[in-house]
Structure 1
Amino acid sequence: MSHDATPLKTRWPASAPSLGEMHRSVPVPNGGRWWHRLFAFLGPGYMVSVGYMDPGNWATDIAGGAHFGYLLLSVILLSNVMAIVLQALSARLGIGSGLDLAQACRANYSRPVNLGLWGICEAAIIACDLAEVIGTAIALKLLFGIPLLWGAVITAVDVVLVLFLMNRGFRALEAFVIALLAIIFACFAVQIALAAPPVAEVLGGFIPRAQVVTDPTALYIAIGILGATVMPHNLYLHSSIVQTRAFPRTDEGRRSALRWAVTDSTLALMLALCINAAILILAAAVFHANGRFDVQEIEQAYELLAPMLGVGLASTLFAVALLASGINSTVTATLAGQIVMEGFLHLRLKPWMRRLLTRGIAIVPVVIVAALYGDAGTARLLVLSQVILSMQLPFAVVPLVRFVSDRKLMGVLVAPRWLVRIAWGMAALIIALNLKLLTDTFLH
């Protein structure tokens, strides 16, 4: 017997399918070998993983590696485990209920609550876009000598790229994202080989230590890493794009789809773990090990890599990976923005208009800060944007956990109690760390 999930309450008219033009657009084989089905589901996880290795991660990982060596590798590992669990819950919501997270909020919460959640999520997307603007502008400056101010303005034209890819179909979008992820991975693989970090120290960095919480600076960077890794808008994104697969909307079809979707996202996020760890390991092996604890900015890292490693190619690979990261992130930010606006408000904007609006809002603070404070100001703004993301995480995580634990909404795919307990524990940890950061920031 099939199960067609319906919301607990129906405060508002029923939503159109999430990402309507792409909903159920990717065929899924009914039989055949297991890798054929896996291949059909590969893609959404990698699109989500982009947000876990965007330019905002670079700033926090570089600062953490240079200042504290391998200490914060444990934070990257913890963040990645949390990301794997939360993204699996996001996929569960989309597949089990047929709603994305924004639609589920609209169906179950009052208008004031929805408007508040929408505003918070938009702020998170703008903070993420802020990181992409800065990262892409820095990459353009490093590779082509374009001033940071003009580089920030140039990033607005990426709307043409996004529109082209979306018109080619969802599979083309996924292929583009995966190709750029492969470039980033290859660049860092070469750099890590050149840096040759001590394996014992690297492995020791994955063991949690009390200093992460007791040292205010370490805690600030750690929460920045958390905010850069577990990104709130990615929870909205994943719950939508898993529905692009044309799997049978039956109980068994949903169970099968969930297994493949979680496999996809877990593999993709392990790749994100490798890249995030590589950035921090590179900073620790090259800068911290040589007494350069002050390196916090991406440009500093670029300028010092070649002379300190003795290989000119190292800096170029670093900049190429940064550019690929910035371009990649624009694709997923556009989709997330569309999903959030349509889900919460039932407001549909043309993709180019939505993209220019979001990017325009993000460009303004970058241009102002670059003009007033120069490159150092934009570097601090980049790290701050990631802390802002972390502050907004509970407002996405709490509704998500509530929905996936509701049997009336989820049917056969309701989350088991042990998983719900783990998810609530993660939400509590995020809130506790944020409160400690706020206390340390305003009382000391």
Structure 2
Amino acid sequence: MDTPKNKTLTKLEERSSLAELNHSMKVPLKGTTFRKFLAFVGPGYLVAVGYMDPGNWATDIAGGSRFGYSLLAVILVSNLMAGLLQSLASKLGIVTGHDLAQACRIQYSKPATIALWILCELAIAACDLAEVIGSAIALKLLFGIPILYGVLITAVDVLLILLLQHKGFRAIEALVIVLVLTIGACFAVDLWLSRPDIGGVLAGFIPAADLITDHQKLYIAIAILGATVMPHNLYLHSSIVQTRQYENTEQGKRQAIRFSAWDSTIALTLALFINAAILIVSAATFHQAGMTEVADISDAYHLLTPLVGTTLASILFAVALLASGQNSTLTGTLAGQIVMEGFLDIRLPPWLRRLITRLIAIIPAVIVTIISGEKGTEELLIFSQVILSLQLPFAVIPLVKFTGDQKIMGTFVNRIWVKILAWSVSAIIVVLNLFLIYQTFVG
């Protein structure tokens, strides 16, 4: 039996999210559970990219160098919160057949929808800005290319994305998974080279008693939490889960929800490992050596070699940063397309949409680099995370509201305990993000 749909869904023309990719990938109707699950593997990794992008690196490096392993618990809790929200995003897409942006357009007035679209575009531009700067820093560290030229070079990735889109969605997923595994492999080697204290690492996953009383530690903890849930990821996940040809029945949708949850859980666990690895490497090298003020990505790169004793550690660090920036670029492109089509029902050619997004990110990066130099780009990287934090409530609150509404979700509506947990997580994330913004500008 099909899920009851909200009557207001008739306000929206029957246009699928990412129409050229929607239900383009077959799901086997027969076979083992594992074989069926494999058909759903992919979207979770595209989402996980947002949890390991260059914008997250500074907070992890700062947390490890200043406080050792004690903030690992914050990374763990952040990841659990993100996992819950991402599962709700995928469920919304599978059950309703609409992504989060489309759902907002259906449920809210036109002025509210336009306002939400503008806020989301700012968040995507900020995220793309972090990717541009992260990739440019990586190019400088690896090849000595000045930051300004590195920023300009990142515009070329438009061609790569266009090529991949013509080869189908599985090609995009495959590249993303390869890049994620590259980042993981680089940090696995760096972990081995840095020789962390295993006992200290395990203890770090237990919340520290002074987390609330130590204001500096609390600030870094909030920064880690604030950089974890990316608002554009919620729009992205609610759309790309619909690339699978699951059966449009209650049983088919339940199976799709279950396999999608497995996919994102495994992918986010890998993201947890990478974020924890960045902090652990920072703690095992910088904090151990008494260098408690390292928060700059470039400084971390240059200090790794003398502290670890081999240039391999620094090279792998930079390779992982470059892979992170390029990976985030791919998902940012899709998110931009989803948001514009969903909120406004305007469909631009992918190359034009990508060019607009990239120019919005490159222009401020070029201006700041010319005026303030490389140090300015690092500060711009932090500022981009503040913009993301500002937009977060406007994505999280509608998501939790929609998935808890029986008129929209039918028999798939969130259970009472899920509603309580989701609203609690939303409140915590929103309050901590607002506090982070206040501290950034006032504190």
Kindly indicate whether the alpha-carbon contact (under 8 Å) linking 2:246 and 2:256 is maintained by their aligned counterparts in 1: yes
Distance in 2 between residues matched to 1:97 and 1:417, nearest whole Å:
20
Q: How many pairs were matched up?
A: 443
User: Which residues in structure 2 correspond to 1:29-428 (within 5 Å)?
Assistant: 29-209=28-208, 211-428=210-427
Distance in 2 between residues matched to 1:370 and 1:359, nearest whole Å:
16
Kindly indicate whether the alpha-carbon contact (under 8 Å) linking 2:51 and 2:229 is maintained by their aligned counterparts in 1: yes
Give CA deviations for 1:219-241 in whole Å, capped at 9, x if unaligned.
33333322322100000000000
Distance in 2 between residues matched to 1:390 and 1:203, nearest whole Å:
29
Letter in structure 2 aligned against 1:284:
A
Letter in structure 1 aligned against 2:159:
V
Kindly indicate whether the alpha-carbon contact (under 8 Å) linking 1:225 and 1:386 is maintained by their aligned counterparts in 2: no
Kindly indicate whether the alpha-carbon contact (under 8 Å) linking 2:225 and 2:432 is maintained by their aligned counterparts in 1: no
Aligned-partner SS, 2:227: helix
Distance in 1 between residues matched to 2:364 and 2:211, nearest whole Å:
31
Distance in 1 between residues matched to 2:9 and 2:15, nearest whole Å:
14
Distance in 2 between residues matched to 1:328 and 1:263, nearest whole Å:
21
Distance in 2 between residues matched to 1:324 and 1:123, nearest whole Å:
24
- 1:373 positional shift: 1.9
- 1:442 positional shift: 5.2
Distance in 2 between residues matched to 1:147 and 1:167, nearest whole Å:
32
1:27 aligns with 2:48: no
Letter in structure 2 aligned against 1:2:
D
Distance in 2 between residues matched to 1:8 and 1:70, nearest whole Å:
51
Q: Which runs of 5+ in 1 are unaligned?
A: none
Letter in structure 1 aligned against 2:31:
G
Normalised by the length of structure 2, the TM-score is 0.97
Distance in 1 between residues matched to 2:211 and 2:346, nearest whole Å:
43
Kindly indicate whether the alpha-carbon contact (under 8 Å) linking 1:96 and 1:412 is maintained by their aligned counterparts in 2: no
Distance in 2 between residues matched to 1:421 and 1:48, nearest whole Å:
24
Letter in structure 2 aligned against 1:263:
W
Distance in 1 between residues matched to 2:111 and 2:222, nearest whole Å:
29
How has the CA–CA distance of structure 1 residues 198 and 258 changed in structure 2, closer, same or farther, with 3 Å as cutoff?
A: same
How has the CA–CA distance of structure 1 residues 49 and 404 changed in structure 2, closer, same or farther, with 3 Å as cutoff?
A: same
Q: Which runs of 5+ in 2 are unaligned?
A: none
Kindly indicate whether the alpha-carbon contact (under 8 Å) linking 1:223 and 1:390 is maintained by their aligned counterparts in 2: no
Distance in 2 between residues matched to 1:315 and 1:440, nearest whole Å:
32
Letter in structure 2 aligned against 1:372:
I
Question: RMSD in angstroms over aligned alpha carbons?
Answer: 1.5
Distance in 1 between residues matched to 2:442 and 2:374, nearest whole Å:
29
Comparing 339-348 with 431-440, which one deviates more in the overlay?
431-440
Comparing 433-442 with 336-345, which one deviates more in the overlay?
433-442
Kindly indicate whether the alpha-carbon contact (under 8 Å) linking 1:227 and 1:388 is maintained by their aligned counterparts in 2: no
Letter in structure 2 aligned against 1:369:
V
Aligned-partner SS, 1:51: helix
Letter in structure 1 aligned against 2:240:
I
Kindly indicate whether the alpha-carbon contact (under 8 Å) linking 2:194 and 2:281 is maintained by their aligned counterparts in 1: yes
| Structure 2 match to 1:2 | 2
Kindly indicate whether the alpha-carbon contact (under 8 Å) linking 1:224 and 1:383 is maintained by their aligned counterparts in 2: no
Kindly indicate whether the alpha-carbon contact (under 8 Å) linking 2:43 and 2:264 is maintained by their aligned counterparts in 1: yes
- 1:416 positional shift: 1.1
Distance in 2 between residues matched to 1:87 and 1:271, nearest whole Å:
15
Normalised by the length of structure 1, the TM-score is 0.97
Aligned-partner SS, 1:396: helix
How has the CA–CA distance of structure 1 residues 120 and 441 changed in structure 2, closer, same or farther, with 3 Å as cutoff?
A: same
